[in-house]
Structure formats: C-alpha cells, structure tokens
Chain A
C-alpha cells in the first residue's frame, strides 16, 4: 500500500507544473507506469482522485499508460524481455536470450508524470490556431 505516497508525489509535481503555467485547473493527468513495479494502477488512480480533492486537479481525469519492460545486456542485446514463465507472470525474464547473462531493465520500473492537460490560458489573446510551442533549448 504505497500507492498513497506515490500519488502524493505525482500530484505535488502536477500542481507545481500547473502553477508554473498559471493555470487554476488540471483536466487530465497522464502517468507512465512501469509494469515491473508493484504500484497498482487502479489503486494509484483511486488515491490520486482522492487526494486531489480541493486542489486544482480535483476533477482531473487520471490516465495511466502502462510501460512494458525494456532491457539491455552487456552483450549488446536490446529489447523487450519475455515474461517470466511462472504462475501469475508479473515479472520479466531477466536472462538474456542471446548470451544467458542477466539483463538490466532500462524501462518498466518508472512511475512518471508524463503530461497534464489544462484549459487554454487565454484563447482570445492572439495566437489563434498556432499554439505556442517552446521546445527545450538545452544549454
């Protein structure tokens, strides 16, 4: 039952991002959730909806995108490992299909806020149908 603390951290990040953009309402939260974790998507959704009460995300739709494991091996193998052949089958098979050594997961263990959807800040202010897009510039 750590979905509550996970939800709390996700919501905090979403509210920060919304505040940075000067919006008072979050309509949707999208979360990428690795399937090689013990975070339960239904419980996470329930916890988020519960603790969002009274915040700008109170009525937000929570969307959870499952992320399947992706692994790499020192031998160069790179791909989605098969599911472990045990009852329940909730874990990846971490034996490299090529060399037999242990794989390391590079995806599948995340719980990442990937986007929030907010109302248009000011649809009459002149940019029309050409939404302003700011790509990261790096430094």
Chain B
C-alpha cells in the first residue's frame, strides 16, 4: 500500500501540446517529489486545433478524419462523400446509380468497406469507377486511419470524386467520421419505419438521409411520412431523399443535392 497518491489532471485546453511541453520541460528540471501535477483546465471545448485533443480519444479520431478531409478535398480538390447505413439498405446500388450520372471525363474512386469479400467493388467497377476494398475483418466500421491508408492506392491528383462506402452498421460510424464533405445515411423502408428513432445518434452525425426502396413502402407497411417526421425530429434541418435505386427513381434529386452540397461543405457535420 502507498500512503499518498498523486492525481494528475490532464489538460483540456486548446494549446495543450505546447503547454504540456512547457510544463514537462519545467517539471523535468525539478528533482523528485512531484506529488500533484495539475495542468490548466480552461474551457475551449469546441476545439478544431490539431494537437489540442490528445486526451480526448474520440476527438483524435475526428482529427484524423479532418486530416483525410484536408488531404482529399483541399490538397487535391476531390469531391468526397461517404455513404453509410445498414447492410442491405442499398448503399452500393445508390452509388451505382450516382456513378452512372458522372460525366465521362471525370474519374471516380470508391473506398469500399466490407467485413469480407469484394462483391461491392466488382459491382461498382462495372460502372467504370476505381475501387479499393478495405476488408475490416474483425472491425465493424471504417475509421479515418484505414481510409487514409486506402486512398494511397488512388492518384488523388487525377481523381474528381471519391466515395467512401462504409461497412453496413448503424451504430459505430456515429463516433467515427471519415473526413468526407458529406455523410449520406442510406436507410430502406424494409428496415421498418421506426429505423430513424432507433438510431438517433447516427442520424445526428450525418448530413442527408436517403430512404431507399421507397417503392416497397406499402408492401412492407412502412409510413414514409413518419420516417420523414422522425428525421426532422432527430436531426432538424436534414434533407431527406426518397429513392428506388433499383428503378433509378429519385436519384436525380440526390445527385443535385450532392453537387450543390460540395460547395457548402465547411458547414457540414461530416467531420465534427
């Protein structure tokens, strides 16, 4: 047993790195008896300054995403959109329909996240896009470091658009943005019209919702109006697009939105 204890408080301040270095440099010159080491504790919570969140693990993941964003969108002027949602919601088919609308002279890349297999990549390649598959194996979602490695395979300077297709998952991606300008959540009516209410944090982390398989709403007893109202309740202001990706219905409006949204991306929630 130890008679006394030291509690080391970890700084939350914005300029943590430089302050830590200063404090430690001072501390290292002081011999022994460092019993209470308390850093400053100011209150700049909404911090985007890199290096300011060393102790907030989730903020570090967000910073990794911001680095991907900087590399793709700003350094290489590539339009970057993430698609996420449950397995079978229609992410890949929505992407196929969007790929068909891309002007012939543009180059498109897709980072395809799946636990296993390259089925989605094969489908997308038939539409003339370049793909990199990330098989996450035992992980249930993509994260920014996986994406950062994956995009090494693209010639970003030559690319016009880059899509991230996340692993089918309605939970974890809420805490793990990837750095896209826009996060598009694809749900389908076959998941039940209560799917929005069941996953509020994920909707709040995204910028637009696609309600796919809308043509099947009556067949499965899904109330599209309820789904729209739930999105508005959970994520006020979020745009909703009803699609039937297989029949190519409703995709034009989504494509137009995404083309417009890229010009407004600094206000998006995509990597915050």
Interface residues of A (CB under 8 A from B): 1-2, 5-6, 9-10, 13, 17, 20-23, 25, 27-28, 34, 36-39, 70, 72, 84-88, 90-91, 93-95, 100-102, 104, 106-107, 109-123, 125-127, 131-139
Contacts and interface: CB of A to CB of B under 8 A. Distances in A.
A5 B64 CA distance: 14
Which residue among B2, B6, B12, B38 has the maximum number of chain A CB atoms within 10 Å of its CB? B6
B175 A38 contact: yes
B55 A132 contact: no
A112 to B, nearest CB: 4
Contacts of B8: 17, 21, 115-118
Contacts, number: 192
B197 A86 contact: yes
A115 B4 CA distance: 16
B234 A102 contact: no
Tell me if A's interface is mostly helix, strand, loop or mixed. Answer: loop
B127 interface: no
Contact of A112 (B37, B57, B233): B57
B197 A102 contact: no
A100 to B, nearest CB: 7
A134 B11 CA distance: 12
Q: Which 7 A-B pairs have the closest CB atoms?
A: A91-B200, A136-B40, A119-B2, A131-B36, A120-B4, A131-B35, A112-B56
A139 B2 contact: no
A86 B32 CA distance: 54
Interface string B253-272: 00000000000000000001
Interface string B36-48: 1111100001100
Contacts of A102: 235-237
